[in-house]
Chains A and B, each alone.
Chain A
Amino acid sequence: MSSSFMGRDVISILDFKRDELEKLFELSDKARRLVNRKLRILEGKVVSLAFFEPSTRTRMSFEVAAKKLGADVVGFSSEESVSVAKGENFADTVRMLDSYSDLIVVRHRLEGAAKFASEIALNPVINGGDGRQHHPTQAMIDLYTVRELFGGIDGLTYAVVGDLRYGRAATSFIYALTLFKPSKIYLASPPILVARPEVTSLLKSRGIDFEELSRLDEVVGEVDVMYVTRVQRERFPDPSEYEKARGAYRITLKLLEKAKRSLKILHPLPKVDEIELQVDSSRHAAYFLQASLGVPVRMALLAMILGGEL
């Protein structure tokens, strides 16, 4: 069943086919039923977590997933990585980790770092986020959440909101949708944070119906899934522009008055104030469910890559 995943690198969600993701989701269903048990599927395997850029959520999620499967976990995150701070080159660090582990999860601030790592390492590499580009496991979790909420991914209208230029979760989510048949994708962002040319040109070449917007309120009533990401202050040279943008893409109960009852809001977390606190307890908030699905999806993925039968 897991043959196409065995020993495979996970660099971009675009490396996967729809039916492969569907297999992963089926196995994620199974992992959810087992999530409270300590398994021995990956006993004797070592998973390295190489976080050259700090991340609490992604790192812990991988660590818990690996440990629940019985693997041992080693690794570092940037603050504690002495040799990395001293300027040891990336390639040497990857080679070292590869020599004593069966799989490496890499997060790095530079785009392409995980791909480069996968060319050096003999064992599989999972991209835990590279710069602004890819975050494939997040995209897998996001799609799995939509499938859980709506019973499928096709035929829905999506709005991806916030920083589409530098946000790797938003970018990966858009890439992921190109593997399915969304009814329409709205891309709502401030003008300086629009999706990069490689993203929009892929949407065009795959014949996806999409529209770039600078206002969300006009289309909110059409949307089934709203994927919200943070707009960061440091992206704006002018503070007043930031304040304007923050207001325009903030998800409030007032904005949601126009929404379908069935609208669901996703967010890769952590969130700051881009979603009004009161929205958390509304019928629309799905981001806590989404966060809780991180471990089972990553368990399924690790098991499939390392050849464990769930």
Chain B
Amino acid sequence: MSEPTLVVSKIRAGTVIDHIPAGRALDVLKIIGLSGREGIRTAIIMNVESKKLGRKDIIKVEGKFLKQQEVSVIALIASTATINIVEDFKVVKKFNVEIPELIEEVITCPNTTCITNKGNEPVKSRFTVVSRKPITLQCSYCGTLVFEDELHRLIKV
């Protein structure tokens, strides 16, 4: 991994999400539920050079160890992302992201007459994976198909 020229100090302990497609870091943060108001030291590095991707984004989250199931859903918009768990400045664990079979709450159904968009009801959005490459999801309630190119617009804030 070539270190980007934009200098951001290494984290002592926490999670580094590397190889995010350029420009997608903010969406990734949304997906994992970090708004910046949690008080967690976070570095967002965007559009830096990458051997693998040309350009990429990187997120470093200090003091928070993300679990595989928490971050797997990132694969919806950043399938190339790699997760590095850092302890004492060293990477102790590394894994890739893979879309889970069931995706709950993360995405809004694009169908305005879907029960999950009604509001004032105890119902969460729920999608199953129809295809992984290219990504196609299906709403478990209304059957609507969601295609890869519309995913980034449907991520819940």
Contact = CB atoms under 8 A, between A and B. Distances in A.
Interface string B125-138: 00000100000001
Q: Which of A112, A130, A131, A133 has the most CB of B within 10 A?
A: A112
B154 interface: no
Nearest to A90: B121
A109 B114 CA distance: 9
B35 interface: no
A111 B111 contact: yes
A198 interface: yes
B141 A131 contact: no
A82 interface: no
Given A116-B123, A198-B138, A110 B118 contact: yes
Interface stretch (B58-66, B67-75, B90-98, B142-150): B142-150
A203 to B, nearest CB: 13
A90 B143 contact: no
Contacts of A112: 114-116, 139-142
A197 B115 CA distance: 19
B142 A133 contact: yes
Contacts of A196: 143-144
Interface residues of A, number: 20
A194 B141 CA distance: 21
A116 B143 contact: no
Contacts of A90: 115, 118, 121
Nearest to B123: A116
B122 interface: yes
B2 interface: no
Interface in B79-130: 111, 113-116, 118, 120-123, 130
Interface in A60-119: 87, 89-91, 108-113, 115-116
Contacts of A87: 120
Interface of A: 87, 89-91, 108-113, 115-116, 130-133, 196-198, 201
Interface of B: 111, 113-116, 118, 120-123, 130, 138-145
